[in-house]
Amino acid sequence: MVDDVLIVVAVGILIVRQFQWRSAEPRRMLLLPLLLIAVGLVYLGFEVRGLQRADWLLVGELVLVAGTGTAMGCVTRFRRAGGLQYRLTGAGIVLWAVFLAIRIGSFALASVLGAQLLDATGLILVSFGVNRLAASLVVRHRIAHGGDKTLAYDQGSAGTRR
């Protein structure tokens, strides 16, 4: 129970961070998602013993959360303020709601099927990590290949250029 509360608080903090301007350092973008996935997999290693699984449901959830992460990367906004910065736009709120609906839906479906693995703490971490990894990869790609001509930038108080 304490683990779940800590994870919910940590995930909440990470979600809020997505809407704040951050430095766009491509190497650093992958650290947190990969760490979340690794910790989640270790956690799952301990939790999976004796639990009934629904592998198809697990794969389906991971594909869907990767899709929401990809969409989040696409709606990310950039600005130049002491270097390139990025943050999630207002559409990200809807995408986070979709992410949570996917997570709650897979938990509910797993409960009906008797597959306890989908409510495992490790899977919550892996699911969140996969979402963040997909978003980070899209943002990195946009930075590397978009250039000033195709990226939408906020110019601080000067308004928005598209």
Q: Hey, where are the domains in the chain?
A: 55-162
CA–CA separation, 43 and 35 (whole Å): 12
Q: Which two tokens stand for residue 114?
A: 């008797």
CA–CA separation, 75 and 134 (whole Å): 13
Give the type of residue at 128.
Answer: F
Q: Give the tens place of pLDDT for each residue, 120-160.
A: 778 888 999 999 999 999 999 999 886 544 455 555 544 44
pTM of the shown model: 0.84
> For tokens 């998602």, what's the residue?
33
Radius of gyration of the chain (CA): 17
Q: Which two tokens stand for residue 159?
A: 């308004």
Neighbours of 160 (CB within 10 A): 11
Q: Give the tens place of pLDDT for each residue, 67-113.
A: 999 999 999 999 988 889 999 999 999 999 999 999 888 888 888 87
Give the pLDDT confidence score for residue 30 in this predicted structure. 93
Q: Which residues does 116 contact at the CB level (< 8 Å), separation at least 6?
A: 51, 52, 110
Contact predicate 77/152, CB 8 Å: yes
